[in-house]
Structure 1
């Protein structure tokens, strides 16, 4: 222990006598370290850790050549008819999910993503709403309740322009539908005009095989 202290005494004395030199050296080392840290890249592909002749790497390369990679394959369907898109999509899904890889004895794709189960979201949509969205929905419901009370009152007479009331009612209704629609995604991955449809197919096996 004493030998270690005696060995470090010159270093301690130098640090005590030249603090600015020490700070400058530390600052310079920090800059150099930060430069190398920014250039650091991490390869997350496990296949790169194995030799190219490894049987698993060869199989993975063959999968990439056949289905475009170990990640999902996206198919875009476009036509002027939503019904035609649906029929084509269902037929494509049925045939694609039956494709077999005879050499391995399994299917090319294990699953697909097309239709979203929105029933749960429809039931619990308000749990996902923001405060402003909830306030907008409550405001619409309050207006509807008030209007229903007025319509049920036999002594109530509306002297205002009925056309303006209808326009205001349509505006409130569309605002409510837009707010509710933001909470519930579309059941199918389609464009706003329903002319473009997207299907995702996922290859059999792990993404890191």
Structure 2
């Protein structure tokens, strides 16, 4: 996605959330309605000055996407939570809760954009691929349950995860997961039963 397309999506999402017409957005940004239309279509890249005005508008708390609040809720949660998304063919971390970060040394230095493959045992990575194939990143499934492990990073870091597809204000799909620690024995038993992802189709 190009820079101009990203600006267009953000402005259109803001306008839809705010339930305003292009004319009203044009007045807020001191530009013409026609230019707003071109911005939303991704046909132009805003000047540095206009970019600053757009950022100022979108940073105001009342104008921020609800999804930003969701991310903050995940980040600061006392529950074991994560938010991941598929990006350019790889599945990447968007947020993990402070509690999940504290649950294992494997997650201590995880940042936004970290590839999930670097955090999971190989057998667990296959389950994430299965979730992807089942449609978790396009909303096809309603929820999925998996057990996963951090593997070599922390052999005792084994979890059950309930995964729910969610969308942001621009229509991009994510997986919001709530994790519960399980014993290594339960994890191994689950693997030996050849259990895959327990998926519920939407």
Q: Which has the higher strand share?
A: 2
The bucket for the TM-score relative to the shorter chain is under 0.3
TM-score with structure 2 length normalisation?
0.17
Say which structure, 1 or 2, has more relative contact order (CA 8 Å, 6+ apart): 1
